[in-house]
């Protein structure tokens, strides 16, 4: 028997991106002690740090603006499915968070007059998006928050701790169990409130803008704990995802901020502009929303007018080198190291998995239906409806993270001291012990199962879906979770046992993937990021949110039985 590491705190925050760090800061400034854990490194892992440019906030520094205008744009992009209260919270809270970060030394790009510079991003009616040069917005935000977190005596940050389960008793969250990656030891963290800020599930697609740690674990963990999911079927594909030539050292999202700054021409494989065929303006500007752009690119490729690697071309060849240099600075050198010269060649782009609009259903306190369990950031569903506006992910992380931390601290203070009894954690700890060393050298590796899952999701649960492909994906995911996972080989090692961590990543991630396939199957219409080839019309009867929950171990949809 190994030693179980036991910790206790008022507020436990899982996920060290912008939402999680802000939640820990807000919990601490509202009187709580907080533990902030991340599977990788707090402030370095997750998606926030990869964000290159746009962060939307109605500051009114460049154009006259108002949070209500930001809200109107957000609701229009959401195609009728935004939770208006959450979207309003996001838009109204964003300016305060941006100014707060300025005070914490985030160096927002400024115009010559000294005002924060705001740029136009697709779907916004005003120049509204702030950024940090060059393509360093997420990195700058994370550095500032990491600095704040590390100087706060009420926050204990623990990197390399991977959450496996939320512990509940009588339907309420009382803490969590995880694995210490370095020692493979089980960790029990008793907490009066738990905030999940573990991001989305985009790693589960072969082509993705995701870092290595967004495998949907928060979705799986929340489901098991009794939380409801909302509109999980809406998963944004990033239209200008990098496809070719091979490029490393830059996030594959590079082309959208480049287009926001410079424009750029989208051309099909024959070198012709095509956006006008889909009701959009063509030319150098960039105003088409992400769902429409994804649709147009897929249709060109499907019609045999794709580029050599199966996407379309994005060309900046009409832009003078001096303008490229002014907008991109040192990024030009990174292109050069990858043999990309934008003055001489187009690049190939393709929509790739980017952002989970749906997620854990929360109210405006960021509280799930499980008392004591909160969600924030990408993992929290509802604010973005069927399609997220460019630039809304970072303010969502900041505003919802802050709100979740503050409300969790209040909840923790008001809760009668939880008893010392963590008996409910025992089965979760036993599972970690049982899995460590299971089927050594006989079964498939968790890494190989993940590879198959990523191929499967990419091929069958992409932006264009059919009942046939979704059913195949769903059934295969079920059998991977129920058959392959118990048979997977896990190393018995204690020091940095990656296969143990990957096994739990799969356990929760495959569950999330299954929920996405099921939700997509039940939404028999096309709307925003969810396009059904077999139900191409948007249905008035479906203009409402779908909820998924676990009942007697089975996923249940609120849309079951609903006809399109």
Partner 1 sequence: MSASDALASPLKSARLKIWRGTSREAGRYEEFDVAFEDGDSVLDGLVRIRMQQQPDLAIRFSCFNANVCKECTMLIDGEVQYACIAKLHPGLIQLDPVPNLPVMRDLVTDSLSHKERL
Tokens of 140: 């700058």
| Distance of alpha carbon 207 from alpha carbon 540, whole angstroms | 32
Tokens of 520: 């997509």
Provide the mask over 499-538, with x wherever binding to partner 1 is found by CB under 8 A and - wherever it is not: x---------------------------------------
- Using CB under 8 A, which of 14, 18, 25, 49 touches partner 1? 49
* Dihedral sign from CA coordinates of 506, 509, 511, 514: negative
| Distance of alpha carbon 316 from alpha carbon 337, whole angstroms | 18
Q: What are phi and psi of 259, to 5 degrees?
A: -70, -35
| Distance of alpha carbon 91 from alpha carbon 70, whole angstroms | 6
- Using CB under 8 A, which of 498, 556, 562, 564 touches partner 1? 498
Residue closer to partner 1 by CB (options 251, 378) is 251
Q: How near is the Cβ of 101 to partner 1 at its closest, in Å?
A: 18
Q: Where does this chain touch partner 1 (CB under 8 A) — which range of 76-84, 300-308, 316-324, 362-370? A: 300-308
Q: How near is the Cβ of 249 to partner 1 at its closest, in Å?
A: 4
Q: Where does this chain touch partner 1 (CB under 8 A) — which range of 57-65, 89-97, 182-190, 531-539? A: 182-190
Residue closer to partner 1 by CB (options 124, 532) is 532
* Dihedral sign from CA coordinates of 208, 527, 390, 356: negative
| Distance of alpha carbon 52 from alpha carbon 258, whole angstroms | 10
Binding residue count for partner 1, defined by CB under 8 A: 60
| Distance of alpha carbon 420 from alpha carbon 123, whole angstroms | 51
Applying the rule CB under 8 A, the residues between 339 and 398 that interact with partner 1 are: 339, 350
Q: How near is the Cβ of 440 to partner 1 at its closest, in Å?
A: 10
- Using CB under 8 A, which of 96, 445, 466, 471 touches partner 1? 445
Residue closer to partner 1 by CB (options 157, 530) is 157
Eight-state DSSP code of residue 419 = P
Q: What are phi and psi of 34, to 5 degrees?
A: -130, 145
Q: How near is the Cβ of 187 to partner 1 at its closest, in Å?
A: 7
Q: Are 319 and 262 in contact, with CB atoms under 8 Å apart?
A: yes
Tokens of 336: 């050069």
Q: How near is the Cβ of 16 to partner 1 at its closest, in Å?
A: 10
Beta strands in 54-105 (DSSP E): 55-56
Q: Does 306 bind partner 1 (CB under 8 A)?
A: yes
Provide the mask over 211-230, with x wherever binding to partner 1 is found by CB under 8 A and - wherever it is not: xxx-----------------
SS3 at position 449: helix
Q: Does 193 bind partner 1 (CB under 8 A)?
A: no
Q: How near is the Cβ of 78 to partner 1 at its closest, in Å?
A: 27
Residues 6+ apart with CB under 8 A from 340: 245, 247, 347
| Distance of alpha carbon 545 from alpha carbon 210, whole angstroms | 25
- DSSP secondary structure, 144-169, as one string: HHHHHHHT-TTEEEEESEEEEEEEEE
Residue closer to partner 1 by CB (options 71, 353) is 353
| Distance of alpha carbon 292 from alpha carbon 280, whole angstroms | 9
Applying the rule CB under 8 A, the residues between 5 and 34 that interact with partner 1 are: 5
Q: How near is the Cβ of 552 to partner 1 at its closest, in Å?
A: 34
Residues near partner 1 (CB under 8 A) are 5, 40-42, 44-46, 49-50, 138-139, 157-161, 180, 182-183, 185, 187, 207, 210-213, 243-252, 298, 301, 306, 308-311, 337-339, 350, 445-448, 451, 462, 489, 491, 493, 495-496, 498-499
């Amino acid at each position: 028997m190994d030693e179980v590491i036991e910790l206790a705190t008022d507020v436990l925050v899982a996920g060290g991106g912008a939402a999680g760090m802000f939640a820990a800061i807000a919990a601490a400034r509202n009187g709580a002690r907080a533990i902030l854990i991340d599977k990788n490194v707090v402030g370095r892992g997750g998606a926030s740090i990869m964000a290159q440019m746009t962060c939307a906030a109605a500051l009114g520094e460049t154009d006259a603006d108002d949070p209500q205008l930001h809200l109107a744009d957000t609701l229009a992009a959401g195609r009728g499915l935004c939770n208006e209260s959450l979207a309003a919270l996001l838009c109204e809270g964003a300016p305060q968070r941006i100014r707060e970060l300025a005070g914490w030394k985030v160096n927002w790009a400024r115009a010559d007059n000294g005002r924060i510079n705001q740029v136009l991003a697709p779907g916004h009616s005003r120049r509204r998006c702030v950024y940090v040069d060059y393509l360093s917005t997420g990195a700058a935000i994370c550095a500032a928050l990491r600095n704040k977190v590390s100087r706060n005596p009420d926050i204990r940050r623990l990197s390399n701790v991977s959450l496996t389960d939320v512990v509940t008793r009588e339907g309420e969250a009382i803490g969590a169990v995880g694995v210490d990656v370095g020692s493979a030891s089980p960790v029990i963290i008793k907490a009066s409130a738990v905030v999940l800020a573990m991001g989305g599930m985009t790693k589960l697609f072969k082509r993705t803008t995701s870092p290595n740690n967004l495998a949907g674990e928060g979705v799986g963990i929340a489901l098991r704990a009794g939380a409801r999911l909302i509109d999980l079927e809406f998963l944004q594909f990033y239209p200008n995802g990098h496809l070719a030539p091979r490029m490393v050292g830059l996030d594959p999202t590079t082309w959208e901020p480049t287009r926001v700054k410079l424009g750029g021409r989208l051309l099909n494989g024959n070198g012709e502009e095509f956006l006008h065929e889909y009701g959009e303006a063509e030319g150098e500007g960039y105003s088409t929303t992400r769902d429409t752009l994804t649709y147009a690119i897929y249709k060109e490729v499907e019609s045999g007018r794709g580029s050599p690697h199966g996407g379309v071309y994005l060309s900046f060849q009409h832009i003078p080198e001096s303008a490229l240099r002014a907008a991109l600075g040192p990024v030009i050198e990174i292109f050069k190291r990858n043999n990309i010269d934008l003055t001489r060649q187009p690049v190939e782009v393709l929509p790739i998995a980017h952002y989970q609009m749906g997620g854990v259903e929360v109210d405006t306190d960021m509280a799930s239906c499980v008392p004591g369990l909160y969600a924030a950031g990408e993992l929290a569903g509802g604010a973005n409806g069927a399609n997220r506006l460019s630039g809304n992910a970072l303010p969502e992380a900041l505003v919802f993270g802050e709100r979740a931390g503050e409300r969790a601290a209040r909840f923790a203070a008001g809760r009668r001291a939880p008893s010392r009894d963590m008996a409910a954690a025992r089965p979760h700890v036993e599972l970690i012990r049982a899995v460590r060393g299971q089927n050594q050298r006989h079964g498939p590796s968790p890494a190989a199962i993940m590879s198959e899952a990523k191929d499967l999701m990419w091929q069958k649960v992409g932006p264009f879906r059919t009942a046939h492909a979704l059913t195949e994906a769903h059934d295969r995911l079920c059998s991977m979770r129920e058959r392959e996972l118990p048979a997977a080989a896990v190393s018995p090692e204690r020091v940095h046992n990656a296969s143990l961590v990957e096994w739990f990543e799969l356990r929760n991630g495959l569950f999330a993937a299954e929920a996405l396939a099921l939700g997509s199957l039940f939404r028999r219409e096309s709307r925003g990021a969810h396009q059904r080839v077999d139900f191409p019309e948007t249905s008035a009867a479906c203009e409402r949110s779908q909820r998924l929950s676990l009942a007697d171990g089975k996923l249940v949809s609120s849309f079951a039985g609903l006809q399109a």
